[in-house]
């Protein structure tokens, strides 16, 4: 067993892992896949942040898919990101088929100074990959005092309202708003009734699913997860969710001249071709409007009004978007990240891919 495998094996029996340790492991795995150290660290940080926030489904569980793509050559480990300004506040970014997290970080970091100059800036990104959680990037902007809207398309799993063929993704929408002296508001939602991962989970567990989650291949509501996975996920709120998914698609893939969602490859299936995901980010400087101080005070007053409301269930008052994640992060930074079977399984699966690759290369006489 190599050193990386040993570090994973050493986790056996432990209940938690520190964020730093998890980040170091994820960084090492990505670096072994050919990603430059600094990039590997950036990607690991975003994945670990999702774990910290309790977003298991968007965190380290994606590492095996990233590793497989990087090792198989369907994801470019060393992308040359290109920023092509169309006008002075807008640009197309070609992600060069690199990891989506790198492209999204690049977009936010390039747009921030442009938004500060013009009040608003936007970029559409093409030839990207799965970017994890939108909240990570809108919070990256919020930490610089900037409002950010983020959109992405995704592989087709959702039919337009009234149809049964999935030609849209569960296209996420994210929005971040800095709050003075408090964690930012960070909305991050798919436009589908449910995450596909929830249906896969029901399939594994052999349980029924609610009838308003999905349709079977004939377009009938179904409670059978197997039939649902052969059919289509439903948009949230019917025609409204479909409209929002289409909005995210058009902002992402048409402005960037990227691949439409119905031609995007799933990050979970090895298709031997680049995924071709598109994103769009709009970054807004409150100083371009009424000024950061007034804007922040207004936002804080609204947030405080909501946070001060009694809950229908007195034990759970209403939360601001992102609030649960912020609380979970604070807790996990202190107590460690829960080392669930799916988390340790993901780490092991990624290392297994690396080992297989090394074995294969060794048997071919290639230096790993």
Q: Is 220 left (phi over 0), alpha (psi -120 to 50) or beta?
A: beta
Give the interface segment with its own copies, choosing from 16-24, 53-61, 319-327, 335-343 (CB under 8 A): 319-327
CA dihedral 220, 225, 229, 233 (to 10 degrees): 60
Q: What is the C-alpha to C-alpha distance for residues 123 and 9, in angstroms, rounded to an integer?
A: 42
Per CB under 8 A, the list member of 109, 318, 366, 368 interacting with its own copies is 318
Helix (H, G, I), strand (E, B) or coil at 233: strand
Do the beta carbons of residue 217 and residue 229 sit within 8 Å?
A: no
Q: Is residue 214 exposed (0-12), middle (13-18) or buried (19+ Cβ within 10 Å)?
A: buried
Candidate residues 56, 160, 197, 352; the one interacting with its own copies per rule CB under 8 A: 160
User: Which 191-220 positions form the footprint of its own copies (CB under 8 A)?
Assistant: 193, 215, 219
Q: In this structure, what token pair is assigned to residue 215?
A: 């349709």
CB distance 233 to 155 below 8 Å: no
Residue 140 beta carbon to its own copies: minimum distance, rounded to whole angstroms: 18
Interacting span for its own copies (CB under 8 A) from 41-49, 53-61, 284-292, 341-349: 284-292
Residue number with CB closer to its own copies (41 or 83): 83
Taking contact as CB under 8 A, which single stretch among the options 9-17, 37-45, 264-272, 315-323 is the one that binds its own copies? 315-323
Task: Write the binding mask 250 to 279 for its own copies: x where contact by CB under 8 A, - elsewhere.
Answer: xx-xxxxxx-xxx-----------------
In the region spanning residues 22 to 81, those forming contacts with its own copies, defined by CB under 8 A, are none
112 is a site residue for its own copies (CB under 8 A): no
Residue owning tokens 């048409």: 254
> x-or-dash pattern for its own copies, window 120-149, by CB under 8 A?
xxx-x----------------------x-x
Q: Of these, 18, 217, 302, 327, which contacts its own copies (CB under 8 A)?
A: 302
* C-alpha closest to that of 163 among 99, 230, 242, 92: 242
């Amino acid at each position: 067993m190599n050193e990386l495998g040993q570090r994973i094996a050493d986790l056996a029996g432990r209940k938690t892992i520190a964020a730093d340790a998890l980040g170091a492991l994820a960084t090492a795995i990505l670096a072994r896949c050919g990603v430059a150290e600094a990039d590997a660290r950036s990607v690991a940080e975003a994945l670990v942040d999702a774990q910290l926030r309790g977003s298991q489904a968007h965190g380290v569980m994606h590492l095996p898919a990233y590793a497989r793509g990087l090792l198989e050559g369907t994801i470019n480990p060393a992308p040359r990101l290109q920023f092509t300004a169309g006008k002075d506040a807008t640009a197309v970014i070609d992600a060069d088929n690199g990891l989506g997290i790198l492209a999204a970080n690049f977009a936010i970091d390039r747009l921030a100074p442009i938004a500060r100059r013009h009040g608003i800036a936007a970029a559409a990104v093409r030839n990207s990959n799965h970017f994890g959680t939108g909240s990570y990037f809108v919070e990256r902007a919020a930490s610089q005092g900037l409002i950010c809207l983020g959109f992405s398309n995704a592989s087709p799993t959702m039919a337009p309202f009234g149809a049964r063929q999935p030609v849209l993704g569960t296209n996420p929408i994210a929005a971040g708003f800095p709050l003075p002296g408090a964690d930012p508001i960070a909305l991050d939602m798919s436009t589908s009734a449910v995450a596909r991962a929830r249906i896969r989970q029901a399939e594994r567990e052999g349980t029924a699913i609610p009838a308003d989650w999905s349709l079977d291949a004939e377009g009938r509501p179904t409670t059978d997860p197997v039939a649902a996975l052969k059919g289509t996920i439903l948009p949230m709120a019917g025609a409204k969710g479909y409209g929002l998914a289409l909005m995210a698609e058009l902002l992402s893939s048409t402005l960037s001249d990227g691949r439409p969602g119905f031609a995007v490859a799933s990050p979970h299936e090895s298709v031997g071709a680049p995924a071709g995901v598109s994103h769009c980010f709009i970054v807004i400087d409150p100083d371009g409007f009424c000024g950061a101080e007034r804007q922040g005070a207004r936002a804080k007053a609204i947030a405080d009004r909501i946070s001060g409301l009694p809950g229908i269930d007195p034990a759970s008052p209403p939360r601001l978007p992102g609030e649960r994640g912020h609380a979970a992060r604070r807790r996990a930074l202190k107590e460690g990240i829960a080392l669930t079977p799916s988390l340790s399984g993901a780490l092991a699966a990624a290392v297994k891919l690396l080992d297989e690759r090394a074995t294969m290369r060794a048997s071919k006489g290639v230096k790993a």
